């Protein structure tokens, strides 16, 4: 409701900044209908957390008063994170003079969804507070049409289908995610566009947006994304195709404009490294 991360909300509750019907609340308390919730918010930061620096290759596909849509290049995260020293979309936008919404945690203001650092393609960022709230709700309610293309090793059987398997952190605790009983619900639809000797070009439609969802679900089917070493991809195939990261691209993003209500859709062509890999497979 206030655009805070779960961690920050928990800190406010622990600090006594949240009252339920006038009494301090515990983090596990449930709020019933008709209950009065009183939250004391911290003052807004006086300066942006991210240092605005230009991000080479970051293209603005569309911009108005409420949203900015970008084509994210490889090696760029959505927002600054602990331990990441590379560029981010937010830094790139700030350096270009684009003002983003102040909602959300300080380090990821305006961010309503994310792409992995090495996943390229279309991404939308909220500029107005109304757009932030509306788009966050749209992603949560699964009304956003998110389409990806990926090269998967081998040939999925059947050629089209749905993967409905919960995802959570891998028990090894090494940064990976995995299909885990009791994890968060995750649904991935896939369709084979082209079948090659060693791999298949798939179109993916996501219902949910779990971390590494496409990569985890395809690996669970034993058809990992080409070049995705974290999830068991064949390094020999990736090297032959000249792929130095997972072959995964957000090709299309469609949603209702957050203030105008009209349907909008944005597309991104494959970057050069992904295009060359597909061309090599076609020659084979």
> Which residues are part of the catalytic machinery?
116
Burial of 208 (0-12, 13-18, 19+ CB in 10 A): middle
**Which tokens hold the place of 143?**
């009304």
Beta-carbon neighbour count of residue 133 at 10 Å? 17
**Which tokens hold the place of 21?**
């019907």
| Cis amide leading into 59 (omega within 30) | no
**Which tokens hold the place of 59?**
């293209």
Q: Distances from the Cα of 28 to the Cαs of 19, 24, 31, 36, 104, in angstroms?
A: 13, 12, 10, 17, 22
**Which tokens hold the place of 186?**
């995750």
**Which tokens hold the place of 131?**
């757009």
**Taking the chain, what is the end-to-end CA distance rounded to the nearest angstrom?**
53
Q: What is the distance between the alpha carbons of residues 242 and 81, in angstroms, rounded to a whole number?
A: 29
Q: Cα–chain-centroid distance for residue 71? A: 13
Burial of 189 (0-12, 13-18, 19+ CB in 10 A): middle
Q: DSSP 3-state assignment of 215? A: helix
């Amino acid at each position: 409701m206030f655009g805070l991360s779960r961690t920050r909300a928990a800190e406010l509750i622990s600090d006594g900044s949240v009252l339920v019907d006038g009494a301090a609340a515990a983090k596990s308390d449930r709020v019933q209908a008709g209950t009065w919730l009183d939250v004391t918010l911290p003052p807004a930061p006086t300066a942006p957390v991210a240092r605005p620096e230009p991000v080479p290759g970051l293209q603005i596909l569309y911009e108005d008063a409420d949203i900015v849509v970008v084509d994210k290049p490889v090696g760029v995260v959505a927002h600054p994170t602990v331990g990441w020293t590379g560029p981010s979309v937010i830094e790139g936008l700030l350096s270009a003079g684009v003002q983003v919404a102040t909602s959300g945690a300080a380090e990821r203001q305006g961010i309503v969804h994310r792409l992995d650092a090495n996943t390229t393609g279309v991404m939308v960022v909220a500029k107005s507070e109304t757009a932030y709230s509306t788009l966050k709700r749209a992603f949560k309610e699964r009304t956003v049409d998110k389409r990806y293309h990926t090269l998967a090793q081998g040939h999925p059987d059947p050629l089209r289908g749905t993967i409905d398997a919960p995802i959570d952190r891998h028990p090894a605790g090494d940064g990976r995610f995995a299909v885990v009983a009791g994890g968060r619900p995750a649904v991935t639809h896939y369709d084979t566009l082209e079948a090659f000797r060693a791999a298949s070009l798939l179109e993916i439609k996501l219902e949910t947006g779990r971390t590494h969802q496409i990569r985890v679900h395809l690996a669970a089917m034993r058809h990992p994304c080409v070049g995705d070493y974290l999830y068991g991809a064949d390094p020999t195939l990736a090297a032959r195709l000249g792929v130095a990261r997972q072959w995964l691209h957000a090709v299309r993003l469609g949603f209702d404009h957050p203030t105008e209500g009209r349907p909008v859709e944005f597309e991104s062509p494959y970057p050069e490294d992904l295009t060359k890999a597909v061309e090599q497979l076609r020659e084979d």
